[in-house]
Structure 1
Amino acid sequence: MRAVTVLLMSILLSACVGLPDKVSPVSNFELPRYLGTWYEVARLDHSFERGMNQVTANYSMRDDGGVKVLNRGFKTNEQQWQEAEGKAYFVEGTDSGYLKVSFFGPFYGSYVVFELDKQDYQYAFVAGPNHDYLWLLARTPQVSEQLKQRFLNEAKQRGFNTEEIIFVEHPQP
């Protein structure tokens, strides 16, 4: 019975670091260029970010070779900032935009960069382990309407429910 439980837990945990259908990580990924602050421009909403605006993610190196993840957002209804610190590690090679991230101990979820501005690393389209998790990240809080439309088109082609995407509010400069 214990062997069955261990097997089932292994399958369950590995499913959380899987890839959604029609989503492939970018190749030639360069982590040093990806590090730093990213603004969340759009997302499929979910319980752990519901009601948040001004959301940012900051990525930096950990001593163990992984990536420190610091997510921060303003919880509008509570009028207060919230932060969550996590860690991320590559699932495949370090040149693939396919990582696993954890905010809760031993439980990891996929972080799949499936489109990236390879010239300047100014925007990234990111998916989670399935079609319920999707983000548009950028180095600036506002992006062009053309980029927003590209994100929506690419997301729809890959099977994401684009009707549920929300655009995150950030203060105007």
Structure 2
Amino acid sequence: MGNSASASTKLPALNTVQTCDTSRFMGTWFVIAVKPTFAETTCSNAVEKYTLLDEKESHDIDIDFTYNPKEDPYETKNKVKSLPQKGWIQGNDRTTSGDWKVSPLWPIKMSYPIIDLDEKEYSYAVIGYPSRAYCWILARQPVMDEKVYTDITTRLVENHQYDLDGLRKVPQQWTEDERTKRGLNDKEIPNSLLMKKE
């Protein structure tokens, strides 16, 4: 089991999930809720796509993070932004470790521990941060059952000593046109979850 500690916090180290099948984790994730970084305080339609690279590359994972910077994804001039990132899997086995580091820009490398995961279906995941200043609740579709969400936030507090102040749900409002423009498909966003743009 990996863990992530920080010299700047007296909180205990975050325990990562015992195992994370890296290949199953790859693909599209929607950001359901976040304790935000500067780029995420008002974002909407936030999506992360993970791609595992060949071992010969200088890093392990490409992360394509795209989002609308404002709360309403269809507000005039609220253009999609992209923040490509690089990921490194920590530990001796890159196929099963939930302890990662991510670089949003050089030379920064942030701890990126996977601290909660639907280990059966890989339908949701939670990424923590040692100081508890940030976290990301992810799902394979842009909606999450409220009970699942509540259970996740309860575990954040009880198992990981998170304070939920500042946790925000990220608006996920998708039209068919927007789904197509962002290169997503009807498995990732089923037609039943699409809204009609007025």
Please state which band the TM-score falls in when normalised by the shorter chain.
0.7 to 0.9
Is the CA contact (8 Å cut-off) linking 1:113 and 1:124 kept in structure 2?
A: yes
Query: 155-164 or 32-41, which moves further after superposition?
Result: 155-164
Give the CA RMSD over aligned residues.
Answer: 2.1
Unaligned runs of 5+ residues in structure 1 are: 1-13
Residue 15 of structure 1 and its aligned partner are, at CA, apart by: 4.8
Is the CA contact (8 Å cut-off) linking 1:116 and 1:124 kept in structure 2?
A: yes
Higher relative contact order, structure no. (Cα contacts within 8 Å, ≥ 6 residues apart) = 1
In the alignment, the residues of structure 2 paired with residue 163 and residue 106 of structure 1 have an alpha-carbon distance, to the nearest angstrom, of 29
Unaligned runs of 5+ residues in structure 2 are: 72-76, 174-192
Aligned twin of 2:62: 68
Q: What is the percent sequence identity of the aligned residues?
A: 20
TM (normalized to structure 1)?
0.83
- Matched to 1:115, the amino acid is D
Aligned twin of 1:41: 32
TM (normalized to structure 2)?
0.73
1:90 aligns to 2:74 (yes or no) = no
Q: What SS is found at the alignment partner of 1:40? A: strand
Larger fraction in strand: 1
In the alignment, the residues of structure 1 paired with residue 148 and residue 127 of structure 2 have an alpha-carbon distance, to the nearest angstrom, of 14
Aligned twin of 1:162: 164
Is the CA contact (8 Å cut-off) linking 1:109 and 1:129 kept in structure 2?
A: no
Aligned twin of 2:42: 51
Q: Give matches, 1:141-160, under 5 Å.
A: 141-157=142-158, 158-160=160-162
1:26 aligns to 2:25 (yes or no) = no
Is the CA contact (8 Å cut-off) linking 2:53 and 2:60 kept in structure 1?
A: yes
